[in-house]
A and B are shown apart, each in its own frame.
Chain A
């Protein structure tokens, strides 16, 4: 039998959120790995050593100490001693709030760009636990993980977070949410929802198996994208009334034509509240 893959998980500049996200799936599959180090789970004492899989959680930056080492030196040493590196979470992939990513620094090249061939990027703030589960098991079984041009697994990141959103019908018919806290309406036009142009499968592989932010009335903040977090996250940037960012893969003109037609053909059913409370009319009159 082959020996278990050696797995080393290091936290760089992070909030530990990707670790806590990971804790939301059944971790018994980790028995198939030899866990050399994890920042929270029991493991051997930390030492710089070779690994089959290195997981980096968090961004890199200068003048930052980790386990008594300078962070940049520590990550470099671990990186070159690892067969495969998983950059876990938007911080490790693009830098996020706290610093620079491994292969990318926002939209430019990062410190390890030249070695990108051994890196698998799993962005997300936090990264979805099932995405990591998938990558780890594919690696363990020696199966090929097809990656896109940003080194992300296509099985996860060829979707947009818009796909599968329960508010899709409102998007189709251009019925925009006018206020927060209602199950009706699309959050794309007024409330900054980045779902139609964010690479992620949040509405397909649900969070905690039950839900997603847009389903709970919160806009998608594009947390899997290089520039997360952008400014004005709850507002849609528009130019002369046209959203500055339009759905992926469509020309601005085509998008405008389609939304113009949808808007002119009112879908009566979607303009009303889905469920009406008995005293709601009374409340509105007051």
Chain B
């Protein structure tokens, strides 16, 4: 059988895809070779340093790593934060998810089928607008560290909040032009003009572990295990099985997304639709929350560190993200990160494929790039 090895780039980092088969994909292996060793780097450092180092896991979703870091330390120390701090965190991490989806759709996925430079520039003008809203609260984007155990570092005024709210409304208008509230999207239609909406079906098995924003966990993170692969990434399994995480998994309950799912199951189309439509659901949630901010609440509540362990999950742009930590004398003894790409793009066997492997098998080889990228691969995160 012919084996076609290709390097997938123009994603966050790069992956190697080994495709078995001539025209139809019989089986595909997914490899990641760019290991960087963040977890080791954290050892013996002060636990607060993780708030600066972990966002550097990833340039596009580093803010989710920041939230996860603060939450895992809070979990270890048993810390609560004010409602105000919680809402601000929801706003900035929610916005990070939205900018991620826009970049993924127009900069990563679209060019695999349609080359349109003006679309890329237009989409990046929206994402830089989003980055500006985040920066009003967080100082900058990417790579701020304004979320800390006990709350947030910023102390906003009503003027800041007003400005954020006005910009969120403007953002809503911009997103309406990408996909409207009824789920109509010209750009999505254009993408599927020459493409079958039914291809790229995965395992039809979904998992949600995080509970931030409006997301509801469907599983317990203690059942997650990592296993080594042939390359430098690790597989992530839940109760020894592979599951798909991400926007489709966490929005299946939504009537519109459910109806698309009923028509096309977990195909590329449903996966893309869920991801785009999620932008509306997140925006609605944070616009609803912003009015609940009580400016008189503290941004930060002090706490006492102790020797302890923590483990938490949040929903990041690509799905469930798990951080765990062991702290002794205020220093990090162990740190472990499990990212969504490990779940969706595990590398396993033909008999027991991961979601992405299952989606690739039996499809025409010419769609391999598109199917692969519809999972929104973060190779950078994967080889943290």
A26 to chain B, nearest CB (A): 7
Q: Is B243 an interface residue (CB 8 A)?
A: no
Which of A208, A232, A275 gathers the greatest number of chain B CB atoms within 10 Å? A208
Known contacts A65-B34, A181-B298, A235-B46; A15/B56 CB under 8 A: yes
B296 touches A278 (CB 8 A): yes
Q: Which residue of B lies closest to A279 (CB)?
A: B296
Contacts of B98 in A (CB 8 A): none
User: Which of the residues A16, A41, A212, A233 comes within 8 Å of B12, measured between beta carbons?
Assistant: A16
Q: Is A134 an interface residue (CB 8 A)?
A: no
B138 touches A24 (CB 8 A): no
A217 touches B155 (CB 8 A): yes
Known contacts A13-B36, A16-B58, A40-B10; A126/B153 CB under 8 A: no
Q: Is A50 an interface residue (CB 8 A)?
A: no
Q: Which residue of A lies closest to B46 (CB)?
A: A232
Contacts of B85 in A (CB 8 A): 181
Contacts of B52 in A (CB 8 A): 221, 229, 233
B9 touches A39 (CB 8 A): yes
Contacts of A279 in B (CB 8 A): 296
Which residues 119-136 of A have a CB within 8 angstroms of B?
125-126
Q: Is B193 an interface residue (CB 8 A)?
A: no
Question: How far is B12's CA from A2's CA once the two chains are assembled, in angstroms?
Answer: 34
Which of A46, A210, A278 gathers the greatest number of chain B CB atoms within 10 Å? A210
B154 touches A280 (CB 8 A): no
A42 touches B132 (CB 8 A): no
A64 to chain B, nearest CB (A): 7
Contacts of B140 in A (CB 8 A): 202, 207-208, 211-213, 216
B136 touches A211 (CB 8 A): yes
Known contacts A181-B298, A210-B132; A21/B59 CB under 8 A: yes
Question: How far is B112's CA from A42's CA once the two chains are assembled, in angstroms?
Answer: 10
B143 touches A126 (CB 8 A): yes
A26 touches B125 (CB 8 A): yes
Q: Is B124 an interface residue (CB 8 A)?
A: yes
B33 touches A216 (CB 8 A): no
Question: How far is B124's CA from A26's CA once the two chains are assembled, in angstroms?
Answer: 8
B296 to chain A, nearest CB (A): 4
19 sampled A-B residue pairs with Cβ under 8 A: A14-B380, A16-B380, A17-B62, A17-B143, A24-B128, A39-B10, A67-B9, A97-B36, A180-B148, A180-B151, A202-B140, A208-B131, A208-B132, A211-B138, A216-B154, A218-B144, A221-B52, A221-B145, A233-B49
Residues of B that sit less than 8 Å from A by CB:
7, 9-10, 12-14, 33-34, 36, 38, 41, 45-46, 48-49, 51-53, 56-60, 62, 85, 103, 107-108, 111, 115, 117, 120-121, 124-125, 127-128, 131-132, 134-146, 148, 150-155, 157, 295-296, 298-300, 302, 380
